[in-house]
Structure 1
Amino acid sequence: MPKIDATPFTGPFPPASPPAGMGVFQLPTGSYLTRAALAFRGGRWTDQRDFASTAVLVRHPGGDVLIDAGFGANAAQHIRTLPAFRRSPHQLGATARQQLDDAGYDHRRLLGAVLTHSHWDHVSGLDSLDVPVWLAPGERPYAEGAKDDRVFSLVTRRHTIREYAFDGPAHLGFRSSHDVHGDGSVVIVPAAGHTPGSVVVFVTLPSAQRFAFIGDLTWQLDGITRRVDRPLLLRALADSDSSAVREDLSRVIALADRVHLVPAHDARAYQGIPRLTAETPAAT
């Protein structure tokens, strides 16, 4: 299969007015080992990669959101519910809840957890977070019907599920959007393919720095730098629609020179994103 074709984006960015006090913070909750040959086309079997499981806190004066939830307090139990071939060695760290608490974070600020999709390593941390769960159209029936990944159903039994609509205009090559605050600072776009309700979350800071949290469009930065998708077997096993994944990966590759792209499972992509500490200024 040829490399993914993507013409670099040179046009103007959509309007955004991010308010002072915004910030983006990483909450790394652990990792697990996967061979590069299983992560991206052309990867080597001898190259082992630590797949990050990281939540991201986006602070905004109008209310904060988490992007994904990482590993939870019961992650070891969650792993045992998975098929044997998915139980690779895991390193479990502090949960997102623990890191928020350690930083003295006021949980009343959280509007919810925006899931890039519903797979276990993105939702496990909801087991210790009392926040609404934001899902894109089509993801809830997929998540609740999954036979080999029941973690979403386990951790969301007592959560409010908020299903939002893509009621906004096209955004950076994606056909529609949902603007969380109405100011262009946090914009969710549909990227169905890995799962029926997968999304990409664009964040713009007052400094004009832009991020795209792309979930599992690709598992490693190599998918972007090499312009390749997953190996054939993994496309069949992991993706609901691999051709749609390839199309959306082309869209984000086109932005790579101007937007900080963050595949959910590549720790290298989080470099430059600060950790949350007790000294972090509050959004006001």
Structure 2
Amino acid sequence: MAVYQLPTGTYETRAVFAFKGGSFGDKRAFAATAVLVRHPQGDLLIDAGFGADIAAHVNAQPRFARAPYKTTSTVSAQLDAAGYDRSRLRGVLLTHAHWDHVSGLDQLELPIWINEAELRYAAGARDGRVFQTVSKGHEIHHYEFDGKPYLGFSSSYDVYGDGSVVVALAGGHTTGSVIVFVTLPTSKRYAFIGDLSWQLEGVTQLAERPFLMRRMADSDEGQVRDGLRRMASLASLMQVVPSHDLGSYDGIPLLAAR
């Protein structure tokens, strides 16, 4: 097993909009990074980063939500540059269906792994418009939670049946948003928490999103708050990776070019 980061770009926001107590003068580059999990039973991508049609995906957002962005290389291009054998890939496991997590599906002809609650959310929410576009033609791989609690979260799904990749239902940000827990044979552990928090301060300082951003971005503020408390209690045991916190990916290697 191994874990790699595939950074596809960033977009700019200010800390004051990202978490309570953040400064207006503190500009943050929000990461748009996918993660490749290699496993003997087949590999998975966690989220898809920015795609080739990123300009259209940004323009599909409300005007107030369009932030300046920079792109690097799409996940698809990075896989090709590394000489990666795509036949190993089982699909793209989404933490949730917002545009900045699914944009790269426009170049990835892979099954989309998504639970039913998140699929319903994406089909009906305004925030699901990009997903509705980029998911066309993709096989949808439904997975469901078996009801077993995992590290304080009420429901989970063990992807490989060996405890190495466990998806826990977090909810709150979107109806079916998830956390992906990865444990390597070295005992190194990761928690890819999606947008439970946009920045690590959400976990390390229990600094939730500011009031207005919670109202606009979250489906259930209380559920997000509960998830942050659970992750704060686990932070000493694993590397917590909010999807948009650039520094949280430190130590995760890049997929080396061929």
Q: TM-score range by the shorter chain?
A: over 0.9
Give the Cα separation in 1 of the matches to 2:156 and 2:127: 30
Name the % identity.
57
Give the Cα separation in 2 of the matches to 1:148 and 1:205: 33
SS at match of 2:45: strand
Q: Letter of the aligned partner of 2:204 in structure 1?
A: T
Q: CA deviation at 1:277?
A: 1.1
1:68 to 47, 72, 81: 47
Give the Cα separation in 1 of the matches to 2:207 and 2:127: 27
Q: Write the mapping of 1:141-180 to structure 2, written as runs, cut at 5 A.
A: 141-167=120-146, 169-180=148-159
Kept after mapping to 1: 8 A contact 2:121/2:128: no
SS at match of 1:187: strand
Structure 1 segments, 4+ long, off by >3 Å, are none
Q: Letter of the aligned partner of 2:123 in structure 1?
A: E
Give the Cα separation in 1 of the matches to 2:150 and 2:5: 24
Give the Cα separation in 2 of the matches to 1:188 and 1:246: 19
Kept after mapping to 2: 8 A contact 1:168/1:179: no
Give the Cα separation in 1 of the matches to 2:202 and 2:196: 9
Q: Which residue of 2 aligns with 1:7?
A: none
1:188 to 167, 185, 189: 167
1:25 correspondence with 2:4:
yes
Give the Cα separation in 2 of the matches to 1:76 and 1:131: 22
Q: In structure 1, list runs of 5 or more residues that go unmatched.
A: 1-21, 280-284
1:242 correspondence with 2:221:
yes
Kept after mapping to 1: 8 A contact 2:97/2:118: yes
Q: CA deviation at 1:148?
A: 4.8
Structure with the greater alpha carbon radius of gyration:
1
TM-score, normalisation: structure 2:
0.98
Per-residue Cα deviation, 1:240-260 (whole angstroms, up to 9, x for no partner): 001000001111110011110
Per-residue Cα deviation, 1:150-203 (whole angstroms, up to 9, x for no partner): 100110011011121101521111112101100000000101100001000000
Q: Which residue of 1 aligns with 2:206?
A: 227
Q: Write the mapping of 1:45-64 to structure 2, written as runs, cut at 5 A.
A: 45-64=24-43
SS at match of 1:254: helix
Q: Which residue of 1 aligns with 2:95?
A: 116
Q: CA deviation at 1:142?
A: 1.1
Q: CA deviation at 1:92?
A: 1.1
Moved more, 161-170 or 89-98: 161-170
SS at match of 2:30: strand
TM-align CA RMSD? 1.0
SS at match of 2:13: strand
Going from structure 1 to structure 2, the CA distance change for 1:146 and 1:168 (only over 3 Å counts) comes to: closer
Q: Which residue of 2 aligns with 1:131?
A: 110
- Tell which has more relative contact order, 1 or 2 (C-alpha 8 A, sep 6+): 1
Task: Name the structure with the higher helix share.
Answer: 2
Q: In structure 2, list runs of 5 or more residues that go unmatched.
A: none
Q: CA deviation at 1:146?
A: 2.1
Q: Which residue of 2 aligns with 1:8?
A: none
TM-score, normalisation: structure 1:
0.89
SS at match of 2:126: coil
Kept after mapping to 1: 8 A contact 2:99/2:127: no
Q: Which residue of 1 aligns with 2:67?
A: 88
Per-residue Cα deviation, 1:74-97 (whole angstroms, up to 9, x for no partner): 111111111101111000110000
